């Protein structure tokens, strides 16, 4: 799978971090390129007894031979980036494109007031106001920032060179299809498109170079912030069902609803997905926790996966059965 794109088919928080970290280790990804909006994303990677939360560094960092790049379409908050580089000790293999726009304190401040905070209920990380400044052609770029000079690299060139040499390349989307500025539940969306095409554009890869698009769904739907969520249940009900989650970046409670086949079907279309991953199957079927082969899943769980496949018309190749990287059924191997 030389060039693979990973995106989310719902509202974000479907477990891309887990799927990406598994693929990085399993498929020995040589180059991972982070796409998406910016540090409004929060990805969780659980490896052994350690839990990592990343907002800027690609989730593929867990594979220690993987190059970690941030494409020019992604907004960089230098403080968050530099802190993660230090924490994860990835200085020698991380690169930022000189054309990444820079989030400044004034963007964060603007994001925490006015209609963005009160109506849209953004993450308050400055991404919307920074993208607005980029469109107005007055945002600073990574090439203007002294602290980032040692990380600057032509990301599209490195990614395309790796693809052309047949190396395994992973493009990491963030947020989710229905948070897209074009295809989501406007105005309750993020500040740009976040479907697979946009992810490719963020890192400078054209449409003919992509081999696989993996769309990630969770076994139930969650959403943080404002906006419609069909079939929404109460927080108390979510707690009862084991669906109660809090957001990685903001600590807010995630709103929850059952798996939505209509949204999933449309998301497959919008992303031209070739395979799907379904995470947290153990939240619906606790008996499946830790299963590693399809036949170890209960009949009910297998039926649920079959129903998804018959609706979305692409194979569900990866099934998450717990938080740890290796808690997964990989049907590509079966």
Is 282 an active-site residue? Answer: no
Number of residues counted as binding Mg ion (CB under 5 A)? 3
- Taking only Cα atoms into account, the Rg of the chain, rounded to an integer number of angstroms, comes to 19
Stretch that binds Mg ion, among 11-19, 82-90, 207-215, 277-285 (CB under 5 A): 11-19
Closer CB to Mg ion, 42 or 58, in the complex: 42
Residue 42, Cβ neighbours under 10 Å: how many? Answer: 18
DSSP 306-323: HHHHHHH-S-EEEEE-SS
- Which of the residues 29 through 58 are near Mg ion (CB under 5 A)? 42
Is 43 an active-site residue? Answer: yes
Residue 270, Cβ neighbours under 10 Å: how many? Answer: 21
Position among 12, 17, 73, 78 found at the interface with ligand IMP (CB under 6 A): 12
Does residue 9 belong to the site contacting Mg ion (CB under 5 A)?
Answer: no
E-assigned strand segments in 123-186: 169-172
Cβ at position 175, least distance to ligand IMP in Å:
5
99 touches which of ligand IMP, Mg ion, none (CB within 5 to 8 A by kind)? none
Stretch that binds ligand IMP, among 60-68, 164-172, 184-192, 234-242 (CB under 6 A): 184-192
Q: Where are the alpha helices (DSSP H) in the chain?
A: 16-26, 78-88, 105-111, 114-115, 127-135, 155-164, 196-203, 235-241, 261-271, 281-284, 299-312
* CA 54 vs CA 16, 48, 171, 269, 329: distances in Å: 12, 17, 16, 29, 24
Does residue 179 belong to the site contacting ligand IMP (CB under 6 A)?
Answer: yes
184 touches which of ligand IMP, Mg ion, none (CB within 5 to 8 A by kind)? none
Q: Which residues of the chain form contacts with Mg ion (CB under 5 A)? A: 13, 42, 248
Active-site positions read 13, 43
């Amino acid at each position: 799978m030389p060039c693979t794109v990973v995106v989310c088919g719902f509202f974000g928080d479907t477990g891309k971090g887990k799927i990406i970290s598994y693929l990085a280790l399993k498929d020995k990804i040589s180059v991972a390129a982070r796409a998406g909006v910016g540090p409004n994303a929060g990805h969780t990677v659980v490896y052994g007894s350690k839990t990592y939360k990343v907002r800027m560094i690609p989730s593929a960092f867990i594979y220690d031979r993987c190059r970690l790049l941030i494409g020019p379409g992604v907004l960089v908050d230098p403080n968050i980036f530099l802190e993660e580089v230090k924490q994860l000790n990835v200085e020698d293999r991380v690169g930022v494109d000189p054309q990444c726009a820079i989030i400044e304190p004034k963007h964060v401040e603007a994001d925490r007031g006015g209609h963005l905070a009160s109506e849209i209920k953004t993450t308050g990380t400055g991404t919307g106001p920074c993208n607005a400044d980029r469109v107005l052609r007055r945002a600073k770029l990574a090439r203007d920032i002294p602290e980032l000079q040692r990380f600057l690299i032509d990301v599209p060139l490195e990614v395309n060179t790796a693809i052309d040499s047949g190396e395994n390349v992973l493009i990491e989307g963030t947020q989710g299809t229905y948070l897209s500025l074009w295809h989501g539940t406007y105005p309750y969306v993020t500040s740009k498109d976040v479907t697979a095409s946009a992810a490719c554009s963020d890192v400078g890869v054209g449409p003919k170079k992509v081999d696989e698009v993996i769309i990630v769904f969770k076994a139930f739907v969650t959403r943080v912030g404002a906006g419609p969520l069909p079939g929404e249940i109460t927080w108390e009900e979510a707690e009862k069902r084991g669906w109660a989650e809090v957001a990685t970046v903001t600590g807010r409670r995630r709103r929850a609803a059952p798996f939505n086949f209509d949204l999933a079907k449309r998301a497959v279309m919008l992303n031209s997905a070739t395979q799907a991953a379904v995470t947290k199957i153990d939240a619906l079927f606790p008996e499946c926790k830790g299963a590693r082969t399809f036949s170890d899943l209960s009949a009910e769980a297998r039926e649920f996966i079959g129903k998804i496949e018959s609706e979305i018309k692409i194979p569900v190749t990866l099934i998450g059965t717990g938080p740890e990287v290796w808690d997964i059924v990989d049907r590509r191997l079966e």
